[in-house]
Structure 1
Amino acid sequence: MPLLVFSLMLVVFGLTTGEFVIAGILPDVARDLSVSIPAAGLLVSAYAVGMIAGGPVITTLTARLPRRPLIVGLIVTSIAGNAASALAPTYPVLLAGRFVAGLVVATFFAVAVATAVSTAPPGRQASTVARLTFGMNLGMIAGTPLGTFVGQNLGWRATFAAIAVFTAIALALVLRSVPDRPAPDIGSLLGELRVFTSRDVVLAIALTAAGNLGVVTVFTYMAPLATDVSGFSGAALPLLLLVYGAGAVAGNFLGGWLADRALMPSLAGLLAVLAGALAVGWTASGHQVSAAVLWFVLGVLAFAVIPGMQTRVVATAQAAPTLAVAVNASGFQLAAAFAGWLGGRLIDGPGPRSMYPVAAVLTVSGLLIALYSWRRDHRRLAATPSPRQPVTRQ
């Protein structure tokens, strides 16, 4: 793997760990800062709101900056946010730290993908993106369980400190490998933003938000679901996160393989199966063995839909793919922000177990968007006149 791709993949690993590790240390944070579990869940929302705001705004404002200083600045901001989280003396300061850490993530993903692809050999762009995205899988399967283990044994502050240190090490590799190139030649700001007047682009971003909302709600509150509903001990959480992460790796490759062959049919089918798996969670979560299997299945399905969703955005936003990918990441985080709030309300109301059927219904909303988009594609194809076939004389 080229050093450039490897260094960017390490940063993706650190960012992903910082985003998802809160699921494993949520009770520790709540206990240490004397806040409720639902209040601690809003830390996920703060990170997500940072991504939602930062994705379109920072990507647009920095579109004309040279790529190397831009990437470095984004990584330094993330390090500062995680360091502030580790040192936060109060809950409001921790909320601010999570917001800052999330502020640059969507832009970094978009710029990192564009930079890696621009240096890839001909015909290797897709595999280069897959290697970069593998950092996200590693963050799930290794970083999140490891960060949870560190938090349970050294305190949750040590988790955020470790993420900041690791990302700083990755930054050193980025400084050695990212070429110093001028900013890309783009059109006017109005021309870039005009891509969002396309209904297909808006539907693709809405599909990302709605299709992920249910499973993100369940994952955000994995700790109380595993301990209070399934009867696991707190010590079992890193193992459950590892199980979920293993499913995520398998799902990433499965989803990419399916999307290459039938994009919208595979997305619709995966969302239908995901909704069914979440509905089954109402009963399966009551037993430890079936709950462990459920977490693996949810990891597979949650990440199997991501390659297709990203591909759909790029395919519908060819005029401004970098901005569209950043906004799509914001769409995912919009789901995460709402998930942090919604899960807290369900815990305070009907109880944590109710998340499973509610998440299933929310996933069906994403399925309906996928089916509608698929139908639009069929109508467009049917309305396009086929090229006249030449007559062959025998």
Structure 2
Amino acid sequence: MTSQQKINIGLFGFGVVGQGLYDVISQSPALDKAISKICVKNKKERGLPEELFCYDANDILNDPEINTVVELINDSQEAYQIVKTALSKGKNVVSANKKMIAENMKEMIELQKKHNVSLLYEASACGSIPVIRSLEEYYDNDLLLSVTGILNGSSNYILSKVFDHNKLYTEALKEAQDLGFAEADPSFDVDGFDSLFKLIILTMHSFGVVINPDEVLNYGISNISDFDIRYAREKGFKIKLVGQVERLRDKKITLFVLPRFVARDKYIYSVEDEFNGVVIKGLAYDKQFMFGKGAGGHPTGSAVLSDITALMHNYRYEYKKANYFEGFNYFKDGAIEIYLRYNHPDVLKLIDFQSVSEAYQGPVHSYKIGFVKLSCLIQKKELLRNNKDLFIAATGKSLNY
């Protein structure tokens, strides 16, 4: 596609983000009327001409006039079929489906190469923050040390209400659901899956490694208790749900998603409500901080629009870290320091502490703080997540081997 060629868009999905994209495109003179078809599941009044909508994916995928597909649906399996078919037919694609991309990253890279097309997905990680493009272009060297951040706006909104407004977790969750920040089943957000898939994508663009999400620790905030909140406050911390990928010695990296005690002097301490914040650390430039709305129709729609505009200029990800630098290996046996709050001592059988720096036994709640191998937590992550009598948070300390 040349930069002079008019982009003709087939849009899948017209929910919050789809409508947000339509709004921002309507305000862009260069792309006004660029959307020629919108594929949705059901007929209903949407305030737009009926002839703009279709109900069969093939109406877009088989249309030779449509050269760009924008996929903004929730179902990751359907999204996979749409994106795979579109790329195979020689159409460029923009997607916001982080689960689909993270679970099929290797295949998506191969499809782009095979069919000489581009798949862009800036909106899949951190909404309006251009973190993927920054990692691809600005941090396209071998000096990157870590990427750490609040990657999920829903869980951050809940924790903000808990720590800044003294609300109960259940009360804050209900408020997030009422405002549309959290789904009726909030587990995708509050149990760290959303952050996990975003972290997988960021890891690829940071260090050039494709990692299976099933092999990474993700543990969220759904088991947090008033005891944990009081403990954090007494120590001068807030609890944030944080994703991190870090470079270790000997071309190794480690990554995980965990609640974390965050001190006032950290950049992400002040990231509140539905906002995201990402700290990029490098060997020569120390720390860079990126901040912005991580959710919402217009912020996410603007990230999609940025990708569409990039396609007009023939942009594609080069996956420079994977292609031009010596490969990194995912290392699971490093140790991180965790806070484990438990209500019954049998829980301690699940976790093999290598060392303990602090312990407390109370009539109802007890806790231990010490170093545990990441591999131990990965192996037990389902048991830990489903056990409502415990809560785990990272202290931020690690033993880098």
Please give the range of the TM-score, normalised by the shorter of the 2 chains: under 0.3
Higher strand share: 2
Tell me the TM-score normalised to structure 1 length.
0.28
TM-score by length of 2: 0.28
Q: Which has the higher contact order (CA 8 A, sep 6+)?
A: 1
